[in-house]
Every structure is written in C-alpha cells, then in structure tokens.
Amino acid sequence: QVQLVESGGGLVQPGDSLSVSCVVSGRDFSTHTMGWFRQTPGKEREFVAGISKSGGSITYADSVKGRFTISRDNAKNTVFLQMNSLKFEDTAVYYCAARGGITVTMSVDYYDYWGQGTQVTVSS
C-alpha cells in the first residue's frame, strides 16, 4: 500500500509564508517524480510544482513561480513546498502526488498516487 500524507496547511494572512510537507510510505520514494497540485471548489485541479527523482529538474506553475519552492529529502521520504508571499488566490486544498516517470509533468493524468490534501487558506 502506498500512502501520501500532507501536512502543514492552515490559515494565514496575505504576504505570510507557510510550508507544507508530504510523507510517502509503502514504496521506493527516491525513484518517483513528485508534484504538488491544488484545487478549489468548482475548479479543476491545477499543477503547482514538480520535482524529479534527484531534485535536478524542477518546474513551477507561472502563478507561483518566484514565490514557492519545492524540495525533497529522499532519506526521509518527504517532499516540501515552501510558500512565500501568499495571496488570496493561493487558497486551496494542496495535494501531493507521485509518478514513476522520469520527467516532471503538469498533467494530473500522469501521476499515479495522491494524498488526501491539506487546506491552505489565505485571508485577511
């Protein structure tokens, strides 16, 4: 059984920073590309950031580029998303995902495993 568990979400004010993490169990974490997605009610799930197996390739959505940083610690089976300068539009449930492909993709169709999500709310 493969499990992805996100944590670290919460309520913050615009301009604040927040870090969310995803712990993966039940598989060889180091062989998988990891991604972060987010979704709000009534909208499709959108790509936020992705990182390759070794961390050598990183991709960000234009909406978060320059503000968010994705990283991974293979020894701890964990992927992180550091979010800075948060905006109202960043409010969403953030999901961690994993795929066996060697490249980082933005499509939800290419990810094999998903976490249950963690809520991030940006409000004044």
44-70 pLDDT, tens digit per residue, is: 999 999 999 989 999 999 999 999 999
24-36 pLDDT, tens digit per residue, is: 998 777 888 999 9
Average pLDDT, the chain: 95
pLDDT at res. 101: 82
The residues, ordered by sequence, that sit 6+ positions from 108 with a Cβ below 8 Å of its Cβ are: 37, 45, 47, 97
pLDDT category of residue 73 using cuts at 50, 70 and 90: very high
pLDDT at res. 76: 93
